Chains A and B, each alone.
Chain A
Amino acid sequence: MTSFLLRRLLAAVPTLVGITALAFAILNLLPDDPLIAWSPGGATASAEALARLRAELRVDHGPVERYLDWGLALTRGDLGTSLRDGRPVGRVLADALPWTVLLNLCALVMIYALAVPFGLLGASAPGSSLDRLGSRVLLAVYALPSFAAALLLQEFVAVRLGWLPLQGVVGRQAGSETAGLLSHALDLARHLVLPTLCLALAGWAFVARYSRAACRSVSGREFLAVARAKGLSRSRAYYHVAANAAVPLITLLAGIVPSLVGGSLIVEQAFSWPGLGRLYVASIEGRDYPVVLGLTLLGALLVLAGQLLADLLYLLVDPRLRDELLMDGLDA
């Protein structure tokens, strides 16, 4: 087990190098001007003023050299400083990361909590009217673009009904220091509901479909019938089906984690959520390369961690896969 982990971690190093090198190359393709980072909206300035600033900001090194510099600093744990606000990139990321992780964890729980039971239902009674209705609803939800979903949820739940807060992470009166820890937590939870729901919408149909296919193929082996014939209780039989079906669901987990981070971009924008997605858009718009690189690296780490986690869960659920994984050291 330890050697498996170690091998996986070592294997991640060249991947990370590749990812950052590619990101660096892509960023170098973008036409830009170092002044962009300091002139949001394009401040009006004369040629003389701009020339003075350009002389100060001139980049002397070539891209390869700059990449090596960046990598070297990274080995010391230094991600560079943001061009936008002069803070260390690590700090900028650390401010946004917890919010995105929180949002995505909640969304993940919400996706699985609804999609897996639905998948099981669909598999146990394929073609039933409930199954058909459910599929159609999920399909509709899947086809709804996330910005439209956000707008609708905000308009009806937050504005018209006034049940939940519309945007942000804290209420209007936050900071008045009268509230206790519990009411802070409650406030945050209320702010979490709509963005989480919005983020989960697209995931539901996807996961339900896969889990349904997976369960069905398991039941398709007459597994369920045999188990039932053998006198297993209905719930017990379902448990076995679920355990078998969990394998592809776990793989899916590894696949969904990165798409959630990328996918939360529009949701974060719509709900004024102070997370990585919004930072990503702002940094690309502001050509804040150190932050974009830091975000890419962080994203890659999350993806790799998701895959590793999935593999560990594999081992837990289906010990038969153990040899294969250990031998191969790579995910299928």
Chain B
Amino acid sequence: MPEGRPSSASTRAALALFGVVALVALLAPLIANDRPLLARSGGRLLAPALADLPVVGRLFDLPEARGVDWDQPPPGMRALWRAPVPWSYRGIRLDEALRPPGRHHLLGTDALGRDLLARLIHGTRPSLLVGLGAASLALLCGGILGALAGLGGRLADLLIVRLVEIAYCFSPYLLALALQAALGHAGVGPMIAGIALNRWTVVARLVRGEILRQRGGDLWASARASGASLPRLALRHLLPLLAGPLAVLAAFTVAQAIVLESGLAFLGFGVEPPLPSWGSILAESRATLEVAWWPVVFPTLALLLVLGSLCVAGEIGSGGRGRGQDTATF
């Protein structure tokens, strides 16, 4: 895709970085865990850390490995292979509160003595989940409704454009708060829905605008003349045209969703504790900024890396789509 442009290296770097972060999110329990990856109990081999993995964890969940303090394991048990970051994201040690970065805690500890690195690693999960979830939901809804508006009749267009205008006026903060209250629980779901409900409008606008623009063009006329059906036209001809702008928009939407998540956490309505997200780590450490810089700086850096890679990837996506196309349609 990048056509050997000078920036293809940074595209690859950006995409690779995002991939690594996604991988970290997926494998967080194997990277940061106070339970060992491999242990021996009597004659048996156990893999206690694997029990914390999302779907497959159940297979490795053994009663005898639960609630064991692996720093001082009971007789007969031994940790063979500790996780790279041998701390739990929820292990509170009040006596180790706000330790600066050092040998034991590479990035220091937070106000409750929890290892910051472990929390950052586990924090990638809700942050990315909110970002990717909200962006894909927004792209899906916005894409379908935008296409309907562009390709459907005048009535569909009118209704959808009105809907866009209406939804656009609601701040994602309000939507997320209201959904939380209505669903009766806080957490990731209402946040994704709230952000997506606001952001789909931008996608719909873009898609509809591009369709309307192409409708008058030669490409459209020739395709219609050769008997292409509307859905076929949309998939074969419009989608490739839209891919670039949509990629930019998607990247920005993911970035925006991550920022919004941290804003909601700032207002006190982030993920449910003790689960960390980058936003909630930031919000929690605001009160201790004066004595401890590390719980503020490291999540900010993490945000910066991910948002940066998203922006670079998104921008190259638009640039690499090829010359001659008018990127300036939105």
Contacts and interface: CB of A to CB of B under 8 A. Distances in A.
Nearest to B323: A220
A145 B263 contact: yes
A248 B328 contact: yes
Contacts of A14: 162
B169 A26 contact: no
B262 A145 contact: yes
B282 interface: yes
Contact of B266 (A205, A266, A307): A266
Contacts of A245: 328
A19 interface: yes
Contact of B318 (A146, A213, A244, A304): A213
A262 B267 CA distance: 14
Given A142-B307, A145-B259, A31 B169 contact: no
A266 B248 CA distance: 26
B300 A26 contact: no
Interface residues of A, number: 56
Contact of A151 (B267, B289, B315, B318): B289
B171 A262 contact: yes
Contacts of A284: 174, 177
Contacts of B212: 328, 332
Contact of B168 (A145, A146, A148, A258): A258
B146 to A, nearest CB: 11
Contacts of A23: 170
Q: How large is the interface on B (under 10, 10 to 19, 20 to 34, 35 or more residues)?
A: 35 or more
A140 B305 CA distance: 9
Given A18-B162, A217-B328, A303-B168, A148 B311 contact: no
A151 B286 contact: yes
B165 A22 contact: no
If over half of A's interface residues share one DSSP class (helix, strand or loop), that class is named, otherwise mixed; here it is helix
Contacts of B174: 26, 280, 284
A51 B248 CA distance: 56
B213 A296 contact: no
A32 B129 CA distance: 30
A148 B296 contact: yes
B181 A29 contact: yes
Interface stretch (B48-56, B88-96, B202-210): B202-210
Interface in A298-316: 299-300, 303-304, 307
16 contacts: A14-B162, A18-B166, A19-B169, A23-B170, A30-B181, A140-B304, A142-B311, A145-B266, A202-B259, A205-B311, A216-B327, A262-B172, A266-B266, A281-B267, A303-B165, A332-B212
**Nearest 4 pairs between A and B by C-beta?**
A262-B171, A29-B182, A332-B209, A143-B304
Interface of B: 6-7, 161-163, 165-166, 168-175, 177-178, 181-182, 202, 205, 208-209, 212-213, 248, 252, 255, 259, 262-263, 266-267, 279, 282, 286, 289, 296, 300, 303-304, 307-308, 311, 315, 318-319, 323-330
Given A15-B165, A143-B307, 10 more contacts: A22-B170, A139-B304, A139-B311, A148-B282, A148-B286, A202-B259, A248-B329, A248-B330, A332-B212, A332-B213
